[in-house]
Each structure stands twice: as structure tokens, then as C-alpha cells.
Amino acid sequence: MRLTKNAVPRLVAVLLLAVLGACAARTQAGRSEAAPQVWRPTAAKGAWLIAGHMDTQRVPAGIATTPRHEVVITVNGTPAMRAEMPRDRPVELSGSAEGSALAAMCAPRMLARATVEVTCLVLVDNERAASLVFTAGTRRSA
């Protein structure tokens, strides 16, 4: 294969972009756990433990990979709500646990180019029950 005079600068530019892309900050795959919170329902006898996690996977996207996030909210250790979490818009979740209707509004906030923080406000029977925070990326909260 013979390169023309005009093809050499294009080839150098493509190679430079590939090298820079490989060195760029990337959201790490893994699991971010939210601190569990205790909520005491008015109609029930025992307290609930509301917690959750956000799983991040790297999925193929052309010649590179892109992060995909899934939020799971649990009540007393049992998954109650689950949804894919985009990095650019809020998501509403719904479910049920122990005879009560659950809802959550999860909103992402980009802390850095490759770090996203997701805050989920959890409601039980339209009453605020918990606020869970997940962080995925190159910078994770301790």
C-alpha cells in the first residue's frame, strides 16, 4: 500500500486522536454503594432499611467503550426498584415493598469529565423516606 502526500497528515491525525483517546479519563467499571438509611413507616411496626447501589459497566461503542449505569434501590435487603441511569437526565423509578408504593427520582450530576454523582430521593406512599447518593468514575467518594 502506497500513501499519497495528502494521506500522510490524515493518518498522523487519526493516530494522534487514537492515542489521546486511549489516555483520556474514563469512568471506571464497578459498584458504588449508597449509605443505608433507616425509615420508620407510620403504619408498620418495624423500621425499614433503605439502601442501594449503582453498577457501572463499560460497553462497546464503536472502537472504544462507554459507561452504562444501573441503579438498584433496596428495602430491607430486597431489590424494590431498578433502572438504567443515563448521565444527562433524571429518571423516575417506581416499585413496591411490603405493601407500600415506592417511587424515586434519580438525578445525575457530572463532577468531572469521567465522574458522575447520582442522587435518588426515595418516597414511600408519597412520603419522603431517604436520599441515596452514588458516585461512579475516576473520583469516588470514600
Q: What cell does 96 get?
A: 413496591
- How do the domains of the chain map onto residue ranges? 26-136
Q: What would the DSSP string read from start to end of 19-87?
A: HHHHHS--PPPEEEEEEEEEE--SSSSS-EEEEEEEEEEEEEETTEEEEEEEEEEEETTEEEEEEEE-S
pLDDT band at 39 (very low <50, low <70, confident <90, very high): very high
Mean pLDDT computed over 19-34:
70
Strands 100-112 and 115-124: antiparallel
- Tens digits of per-residue pLDDT, 65-124? 899 999 999 999 999 999 999 999 999 999 999 889 999 999 999 998 889 999 999 999
For domain 26-136, give the fold. Answer: Lipocalin (2.40.128)
pLDDT score for 23: 46
Cβ atoms of 75 and 48 within 8 Å: the answer is yes
Is the entire prediction scored with pTM above 0.85? no
Q: Greater confidence, 41 or 21?
A: 41
